[in-house]
Amino acid sequence: MRYFEDFQVGQVHELGSHEVTREELLAFAQQYDPQPFHLDEEAGRRSIFGGIIASGWQTAAICHRLLVRSVLEDSASMGSPGVDELRWLRPVRPGDTISARIEVLEVTPSRSKPDRGSVRTRMEVRNQQGEVVMTESAAVLFRRRPA
């Protein structure tokens, strides 16, 4: 079990990778982000992207799953108060493999609730060419280790 005290500023966690298939890209877009450049190859070619691309929200969701499996699943996570910044820097295309990692930026014990603390991280997501496709800054609340 990973508690608040187990996080240190500068710590890096590799979250793993995921290949974005055309089928899952289309299924996500149909359900959650039905914009033409996510759904239709011809519309994608005519767009600024030059082809069909994954929804940025899909990229964020995939990376959140990687975070849960690698860090949060066996932890004393109490949830997140929110995302401070989310940037989509390059498109993710069918067949791309994205890899994510987080770096711990701040570890702050709660002043009003001594049973918890906040861990602020920066996530960086790269494609198979090593290009950064997404960044995210967010915080997660963790319970403190029982005495």
Taking the domains of the chain in order of start, what are their residue ranges?
4-143
Q: How far is 68 from 66, CA to CA, in rounded Å?
A: 5
Report the pLDDT value the prediction gives residue 147, as an integer from 0 to 100: 82
**Distance separating alpha carbons of residues 123 and 83, to the nearest angstrom:** 11
Give the amino acid at 147.
A
Residue-wise pLDDT for 109-125, tens only, equals 999 999 999 999 999 99
pLDDT tens digit sequence for 67-87: 999 999 999 999 999 999 999
* Proportion of the chain above pLDDT 90, given as a percent: 99
CATH placement of domain 4-143: 3.10.129.10
Please work out, in degrees rounded to the nearest 5, the angle formed at the alpha carbon of residue 107 by the alpha carbons of 14 and 111: 150
